[in-house]
A and B are shown apart, each in its own frame.
Chain A
């Protein structure tokens, strides 16, 4: 080992998955785990059938229903005919190709990026892909995880591999510790605010530093989840004891001696001390405040104690124009204090913030307002990320905390994060949302999204506006 070139975690993951690297061809990587859902898989299955090809390792693929489902009913046709068609197609395809499916009402059903980790399907040192850009979530375990298109889904089905050009590497170091009440969502929004919404295009990002190491697994997932929101191919966090403790004993995780051997291998994954990254970005955790997006991409974000910027605050003409268009779409005036922005919808859910710790955090804020209820003109829904999360929350009585305060407690799914079911915002609705995209029309045509943490969303529901909880 002595004179081997120091490597980043990404390079180690790359090398341990390299099936073939040949001049003139894009390198071929092995895929350990493939998660699929109803929206981006049907055409891949159709192509397999057309070419008379098989799924090479059906046991390495797991299917769930998440994007298109109703959060009010477990009936497969509850979200309309189009959705039902896709869901039934998934059932049929999984059956035909021998793939395990967590369908409607299954105890393991959930948003792919919530379900995978909680079942132990997500392991350090693996490559995990899914036809969904938030696959980066699984990078929290030290897995190289990224979203793929449907042609690639087909490629994984047939070959259990993918062709990938090597990405550049970026280290994002968050020094020190965040202040009380600052969440993982605030950390990642602050990072995106610093880099801009395309700041990591072409890179695989590794998050490190004390503030990252101090995070729980669920918080790390929140951070990695939004890697794509500043263009990164994937986000990684080095696996440590927190990771091993989380994985141990999970349903699909290795057991006994195999687990012990795995931990030995996983400990070698972290980037070597003197590994060289193409880019390094450093943040001081103590400077990070609660974040609220004001615009139409996640990089358009400020601290809750700040105000809406003006196009003049930007020097780059493209950014100026983006700011102008965003203010118009969001119906905001430059200089408005963030805490003066009124919302009429609140969504707590999505693969970014729908795990048990997120729901606990939101519930604790609701309790802080001691008996106060969701303000009259606001509709607030809570959508747990999976049936397991839902069950745990109900065991802890969190559902009662929410419903007593006037929130709606829904069934798991992607829900209002993208609004493929009936959980859509209307034109002009303004939503405090714990999801990951504030794009124009993302939650409904003409709707306005402000991305925040579960704590901030809960407070906005009770008060009707954004609140600086640390003021």
Chain B
């Protein structure tokens, strides 16, 4: 996993609540056995006008040319609900997003993001609303500083606006250091063995 330190990028606002992982990556693209090839199908049903994905939907915000290089996704509440498919954050990552900001995330999706090195940032409803006000017309560039748990932007009057966020200690450490979580746990095999030795027979 790549290390995450700071990231500065353009914000694309996706003004829809309860975006589920079926919308993020529909089932017909889950038949791969590899980990690549999902980015082009991100938000397929919204991004394309036809099932085959040949006609781009010009009204969908991510298709607007000014958002072409966006790397921060601004979303509404309960983002990533539904299916546990990790294909959803894989698609988001492959498309080019490094950070997702929302007032709330579904649990499994949130964990999946951390596990692959995407930073999910939870801000308050009011803060997210404020960012939605700033985001239209590709006007919002945010600087995300993971070590200091801060997101900031420069406003029109040149003042700097800051937002604080937090992660659990280990999640923060894992992202910052690109921890191989399986390898990390494999260093604890003695603990796991000791646990197994005291388990009841039926377990």
Contact = CB atoms under 8 A, between A and B. Distances in A.
Interface string B87-129: 1010000000000000011111001100110000000000000
Interface string B1-25: 0000000000000001110101100
A89 B112 CA distance: 23
Interface string A434-455: 0001011110010000000000
A195 interface: no
Interface size class of B (residues with CB under 8 A): 35 or more
Given A19-B191, A442-B22, A148 B108 contact: yes
B51 to A, nearest CB: 5
B202 A259 contact: yes
A183 to B, nearest CB: 23
B28 A19 contact: no
A239 to B, nearest CB: 13
A158 B51 CA distance: 39
B9 to A, nearest CB: 24
Nearest to A232: B107
Interface in B166-203: 168-171, 173, 181-183, 185-186, 188-189, 191-192, 195-196, 199-203
A297 B171 CA distance: 30
B84 A132 contact: yes
Contact of B23 (A32, A154, A322, A441): A441
Nearest to B183: A51
A147 B81 CA distance: 12
A265 B170 contact: no
A18 B81 CA distance: 27
A401 interface: no
Contacts of A261: 200-202
A336 interface: no
A28 B190 CA distance: 13
A68 B23 CA distance: 19
Contact of B203 (A32, A147, A165, A197): A32
A173 B200 CA distance: 31
A437 B200 contact: no
A151 B31 contact: no
B31 A420 contact: yes
A439 B82 contact: yes
A209 interface: no
B76 interface: yes
A208 B200 CA distance: 27
A85 B32 CA distance: 8
B30 interface: yes
Nearest to A326: B18
Contact of A147 (B30, B84, B168, B188): B84
Contacts of B173: 24
Contacts of B82: 133, 228, 437, 439
Contacts of B27: 418-420
Contacts of B149: none
A209 B191 CA distance: 39
A133 B188 contact: no
A293 interface: no
A155 B32 CA distance: 20
Given A30-B192, A163-B181, A150 B86 contact: yes
A301 B186 CA distance: 46
Contact of B182 (A51, A150, A228, A325): A51
B45 interface: yes
B84 A265 contact: no
12 contacts: A32-B203, A82-B32, A123-B202, A131-B86, A132-B83, A133-B108, A150-B87, A165-B168, A261-B201, A265-B200, A439-B20, A441-B26
